[in-house]
Amino acid sequence: MKTSIATVSISGDLKEKLAAIAEAGFDGVEIFENDFLAFDESPAEVGRMVRDHGLEITLFQPFRDFEGLPEPQRSRAFDRAERKFDLMQELGTDLMLICSSVSPVALGGIDRAAADFRELGERAAKRGLRVGYEALAWGSFINDHRDAWEVVRRADHPNIGLILDSFHTLAREIDVASIRSIPGDRIFIVQLADAPKFDMDLLQWSRHYRNMPGEGDLPVADFMRAVAATGYAGPISLEIFNDQFRGGSARSIAADGHRSLIYLIDQVRRSEPVPVELPPMPDRVAVEGVEFVEFAANEDEAQRLAKLLVSMGFTLAARHRNRDVVLYRQGDINIVINTGKEGFAHSSHTVHGLSAYAIGLRVEDAKATVERATALGAEVFFEPRGPGELEVPAIRGVGGSVLYFIDEPSGLSRVWDIEFETLEPAASGAALQRIDHVAQTMNTDEMLSWLLFYTSIFATRKSPVVDVVDPAGLVRSQVVQGLDSRFRLTLNGAESRRTLAGRFVAESFGSSVQHLAFSSADIFATAEAIKAAGFATLQISRNYYDDLEARLGLAPELADRLREANILYDRDIDGGEYFQLYSPLFGEGLFLEVVERRNGYQGYGAPNAQFRIAAQQRALGPKGMPRR
Ligand SMILES: O=C(O)c1ccc(O)c(O)c1
Ligand SMILES: [Mg+2]
């Protein structure tokens, strides 16, 4: 089973598209006609370019409004088809896609359509070409793959087959089990696309919002399982119409596409045989938690960060034996500050300034994690280690960061004892227990890419996107969390650089981790302890508390306690409760958060985000400078 992608899926001219597609590792490419028409080289030259990249043309498409026409349009359609057959032969491809007709003059009638295809099959056969029929979800008469299959079945010609496209089937919520009874060798190509679940016009949805399998909400894996059950062995080809992708980086969109296919194939082959030469890889990795977060800092920044951490009850727990690296600890939270003058931490600091450049994740098997990540196209990260230092497996994360993997069995979890010299016993100074979540910020157009990175490597699920209002623009926020919720990550996409999130991305030159949330066993005790230690909690608007009291019918005593401590509050319908407080901003817009979850609250206080951001913007002052 070969991998393929339609040229329409990525940006650039045909030359740039082909280079990016080849580099990403695809076997083939669908030539989308308009990409060819807009390009000023002969068909033979384009065919040569494709083959020079080691690619093959899996499909030429689309040919529109062919079947069911009255004369004279019918004869014209056959003439048009012959012209395109000429072109295909010059390009060097044998398969053409005909999508179901939307012509206002088409007559409908399943036998009429079948007869047209049978005649076209005869003509194609003379040239050794094949034609596949695809039901567009908005086709006038044929808009369901079951009907397209009936046309193909009745055409009864070896050079006429069916083309399945996951979008058209899934957008109409057609039962994918209906695919299982189609003979695999009658399916000429399978196109794959996902999409976010929107309630909108099918054509608009398809032409503007498709995305890579796994990036959207459609059950593309179920679709593919049904395809695999037919014995289909042809190419699986991405066909992604997406406005953002058209303007994005061809290389990274193509790389995401390839990653999405590997991820999909690997999922599908765990329950259905898939004829594919993909080496086995470990299944998605369960993350047991965040073992540490490491900041790169200069001396001055390190001191200020340390002061903030100490005011939150952390102690300076250990110092690295050979490096300028210290560990602040409280409960199970490990915050590492690296002020070294060499290596990746230092170069990261040079680019981003003070930044949480590395995250250590606790997993069951660190080596297997790297194995899966690299099979999915992630890059191994390696730095020379000194004598007595552990080689902690790592990969390059998204946004220039590094992800380290710590496990128990290979002894990596002893890194703190082996590489560090203990200074003070770990404190529970302010009742902080563990890292509840890590929040990463990026430009909105990178969100899908990051989402795919995390969900394809780790056993996680994603939540729906929520819009968060910043006084300077909208921020889109989405959660990726482990299946058992021990690992929680929030992704925040900024559109405007005037938002708190956008400014952070711009001013830290693309650093990713903007805030860390620590869980507290008792947030009121935390609030008291940290206040006594000089922590200046972010001041929340008094209006917020008045509304909270009214909206949730809070007891006045609770409202007063929240107000007094500047703690934000949320409650879910099952009575789960969430409490949040925030540090001042530091660095280029970093901050820390304390949260407490009660009664199984699973959210992130989304209704509060707007008021927290407004408070942070207020604290920054009109010019975006911290108010002293
Ligand atoms: O939007 C379209 O017209 C269109 C064309 C060709 C396809 O394969 C498809 O899925 C959609
Ligand atoms: Mg299609």
Kindly state whether residues 97 and 137 are assigned to the same domain. Answer: yes
Closest CA to 468 of 626, 600, 604, 572: 604
Q: Which two tokens stand for residue 134?
A: 């695809």
Confidence of residue 626 (pLDDT cuts 50, 70, 90): low
Q: pLDDT (tens digit, 9 = 90+) per residue, 490-540? A: 999 998 899 999 999 998 888 899 999 999 999 999 999 999 999 999 999
Would you say residue 276 lies in a domain? no
Ligand 1 residue neighbourhood (C-beta within 6 Å): 61-62, 97, 99, 134, 136, 165, 191, 206-207, 239
Would you say residue 277 lies in a domain? no
CATH number at residue 11: 3.20.20.150
For residue 56, the one-letter residue type is: E
pLDDT of residue 168: 98
539-571 as b/e: b if 16+ CB within 10 A:
ebeeebbeebbeeeebeeeebebbbebbbbbbb
Q: Tell me the pTM.
A: 0.96
Q: Report whether 365 belongs to an annotated binding site.
A: no
* Ligand 1 nearest-atom number relative to CA 193: 10
Kindly state whether residues 210 and 337 are assigned to the same domain. Answer: no
Average pLDDT, stretch 596-600? 97
Domain boundary among 269, 303, 322: 269
Strand partners, 457: none
The pLDDT of residue 628 is above 70: no
Kindly state whether residues 319 and 235 are assigned to the same domain. Answer: no
Domain boundary among 221, 239, 269: 269
Query: In testing the pocket of ligand 1, which one of 30, 65, 101, 136 has its CB within 8 Å of the most ligand atoms?
Result: 136
pLDDT of residue 400: 82
Range of the domain at 126: 3-269
Would you say residue 104 lies in a domain? yes
Phi, psi angles (nearest 5°) of residue 454: -70, -45
The pLDDT of residue 296 is above 50: yes
pLDDT of residue 399: 81
Would you say residue 446 lies in a domain? yes
Would you say residue 275 lies in a domain? no
The pLDDT of residue 627 is above 90: no
Expressed in angstroms and rounded, the spacing between residue 252 Cα and the centre of ligand 1 is 23
Kindly state whether residues 615 and 532 are assigned to the same domain. Answer: yes
Containing 343, the helix (H) or strand (E) segment is: helix 343-352
Would you say residue 552 lies in a domain? yes
Query: In testing the pocket of ligand 1, which one of 31, 64, 99, 238 has its CB within 8 Å of the most ligand atoms?
Result: 99
Kindly state whether residues 551 and 458 are assigned to the same domain. Answer: yes
61 close to 106: Cβ distance less than 8 angstroms: no
At residue 500, the 3 state secondary structure works out as helix
Q: Report whether 342 belongs to an annotated binding site.
A: no
Expressed in angstroms and rounded, the spacing between residue 272 Cα and the centre of ligand 1 is 28
In what side-by-side order are the strands of the sheet with 287-296? 394-396, 402-406, 355-363, 287-296, 333-338, 325-330, 315-320, 420-422
ipTM of the complex: 0.99
Kindly state whether residues 240 and 301 are assigned to the same domain. Answer: no
* Ligand 1 nearest-atom number relative to CA 163: 8
The pLDDT of residue 27 is above 70: yes
Kindly state whether residues 332 and 360 are assigned to the same domain. Answer: yes
Kindly state whether residues 254 and 304 are assigned to the same domain. Answer: no
Confidence of residue 624 (pLDDT cuts 50, 70, 90): low
CATH number at residue 308: 3.10.180.10
In sequence order, which residues have a C-beta less than 8 Å from that of residue 368 and are 6 or more positions away? 282, 285
Kindly state whether residues 368 and 248 are assigned to the same domain. Answer: no
Kindly state whether residues 464 and 554 are assigned to the same domain. Answer: yes
Kindly state whether residues 226 and 293 are assigned to the same domain. Answer: no
Q: Report whether 437 belongs to an annotated binding site.
A: yes
The total number of structural domains that make up the chain? 2
Average pLDDT, stretch 573-583? 97
Q: pLDDT (tens digit, 9 = 90+) per residue, 536-576? A: 999 999 999 999 999 999 999 999 999 999 999 999 999 99
DSSP 294-316: EEE--HHHHHHHHHHHHHTT-EE
Domain boundary among 248, 269, 290: 269
Expressed in angstroms and rounded, the spacing between residue 203 Cα and the centre of ligand 2 is 12
Q: pLDDT (tens digit, 9 = 90+) per residue, 135-187? A: 999 999 999 999 999 999 999 999 999 999 999 999 999 999 999 999 999 99
Q: pLDDT (tens digit, 9 = 90+) per residue, 215-235? A: 999 999 999 999 999 999 999
Would you say residue 274 lies in a domain? no
Kindly state whether residues 260 and 341 are assigned to the same domain. Answer: no
Closest CA to 609 of 439, 434, 455: 439
The pLDDT of residue 385 is above 50: yes
Q: pLDDT (tens digit, 9 = 90+) per residue, 73-129? A: 999 999 999 999 999 999 999 999 999 999 999 999 999 999 999 999 999 999 999
235 close to 58: Cβ distance less than 8 angstroms: yes
